[in-house]
Structure formats: structure tokens, C-alpha cells
Amino acid sequence: MSNNIVSIELVEKYLALTEEARSKATPIANGESEQERLTSMLRMCDDYASDARHFMQEGDLVRAFGAINYSHAWLDAAVRIGLLDGHGDDRLFTLP
């Protein structure tokens, strides 16, 4: 597989990685304001993952790859700012 080709396998790999990260991260938001921010961030994560699946089914692998990376970035950001606990997993998250 070439490093400059977006394949179905590559998109599926990142979908699985993001699903794993979504399952592993646990909420640590304190208070109503933080919980609302976390809910919004997780909704964005889930929406972008859904978009990635849609684009992949439509054969638009470039948009699928972009969408799943945005999805994972929302999780990563929530861990980074302390709304989710990444449990020390520096493979799935950019830890603070």
C-alpha cells in the first residue's frame, strides 16, 4: 500500500482506531458547563464518524479519511483539555 493513496483499508483502520478511542475515553468533566462542552464535543466526534462511514459507502475515500480524522481530533481535544480521561494511552491520544 502506497503512503499517498487513500484506500478502503486505510479508512477502515482509522474508523476502528477512533471507535477504540471513543470506547476507552471516560468522562471527567466537572460541573454542568464542562459536561455541556463535553457533550457537544462527543456529538461532533460521532457526527464526523458517521460522515466518514457515509463518504466511504459513497466511494469518496478522501472525504471519508478527512472526516474520520476530524472525528478522532474531537476526542483527542477533549482528552487534552481535561474533559475526558485517556487513561495514559499515548497511542490513541495526545496526552497533556
**60, three cell numbers:** 469518496
- Amino acid identity, residue 77? A
Decide if pLDDT at 3 tops 90. Answer: no
Structural domains of the chain, with CATH: 8-85 (1.20.1270.90)
| pLDDT band for position 95 (cuts 50, 70, 90) | confident
Look at the pTM and tell me if it is higher than 0.85: yes
Contacts of residue 86, defined as CB under 8 A and 6 or more positions apart, other chains included, come to 21, 24, 25, 79, 92, 93, 95
Decide if pLDDT at 2 tops 80. Answer: no
Helix (H) or strand (E) holding 51: helix 31-57
pLDDT by residue (tens digit) across 33-83?
Answer: 999 999 999 999 999 999 999 999 999 999 999 999 999 999 999 999 999
The per-residue pLDDT for 76 is: 97
